[in-house]
């Protein structure tokens, strides 16, 4: 957009014309390509491009002048167009802030859940290992008691009879 404005600084109508075509191309390529993996980001981008397009179309009414250089719209119509542009962008900004806040809270919740689940997972592993060790020891004790031999004590990988 900045290139279009810079290239056609002396004529507003050419700026509007090329700016509209550029926005239309961007809008349709966005709709066809779906560049975002999250649906809400794609929806927000589509709404933002639509709002910019509507603002440019409404703004064109403000920029187009009569042949003698006087504006086509009177002060009242100019105010109405300006208010319409604000009514397009203010709800979009509010929606953007709401979605960003929601996304931030979801990602923060996931981080907290991951932080809390890691010690829980370690504790589960330790508990499982301890239960398995106790079960194995009790099984060995039962085997040795059933054969009426003295239990074998394991120390550092070696068996020794006591």
Contact 64/13 with Cβ under 8 angstroms? yes
- The answer to whether residue 145 scores a pLDDT higher than 60 is yes
Give residue 21's pLDDT band: very low, low, confident or very high (50, 70, 90): confident
**What percent of the chain has pLDDT above 70?**
75
Lowest mean pLDDT, pick from 77-81, 110-114, 122-126, 149-153: 149-153
The sign of the torsion formed by the CA atoms of 102, 107, 113, 116 equals: negative
- The answer to whether residue 87 scores a pLDDT higher than 80 is yes
Torsions phi, psi for 157 (to 5 deg):
80, 0
Torsions phi, psi for 151 (to 5 deg):
-65, 150
> In this predicted structure, what is the pLDDT of residue 2?
64
| 3-class SS of residue 9 | coil
> In this predicted structure, what is the pLDDT of residue 162?
47
Alpha-carbon separation of residue 160 from 1, 25, 129, 149, 151 (angstroms): 85, 83, 24, 13, 9
**Residue scoring higher pLDDT (52 or 108):** 52
Nearest to 160 by CA among 55, 151, 108: 151
User: pTM of the prediction?
Assistant: 0.55
**Residue scoring higher pLDDT (25 or 65):** 25
Q: Where are the domains of the chain?
A: 2-118
> In this predicted structure, what is the pLDDT of residue 1?
61
Counting Cα atoms < 13 Å in the Cβ hemisphere of 41 gives 6
- The answer to whether residue 34 scores a pLDDT higher than 70 is yes
Contact 48/92 with Cβ under 8 angstroms? yes
Q: What average pLDDT does range 104-112 have in this prediction?
A: 74
- The answer to whether residue 75 scores a pLDDT higher than 60 is yes
């Amino acid at each position: 957009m900045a290139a279009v404005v810079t290239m056609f600084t002396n004529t507003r109508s050419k700026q509007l014309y090329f700016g509209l075509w550029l926005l239309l191309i961007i809008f349709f390529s966005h709709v066809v390509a779906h560049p975002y993996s999250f649906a809400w980001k794609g929806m927000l981008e589509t709404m933002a491009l639509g709002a910019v397009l509507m603002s440019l179309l409404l703004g064109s009414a403000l920029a187009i002048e009569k042949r003698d250089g006087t504006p086509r719209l009177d002060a009242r119509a100019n105010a109405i167009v300006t208010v319409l542009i604000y009514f397009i962008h203010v709800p979009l900004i509010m929606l953007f802030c709401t979605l960003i806040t929601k996304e931030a809270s979801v990602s923060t919740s996931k981080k907290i859940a991951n932080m809390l689940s890691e010690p829980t997972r370690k504790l589960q592993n330790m508990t499982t290992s301890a239960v398995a060790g106790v079960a194995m020891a009790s099984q060995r004790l039962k085997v040795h008691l059933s054969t009426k031999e003295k239990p074998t004590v394991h120390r550092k990988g070696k068996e020794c009879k006591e």
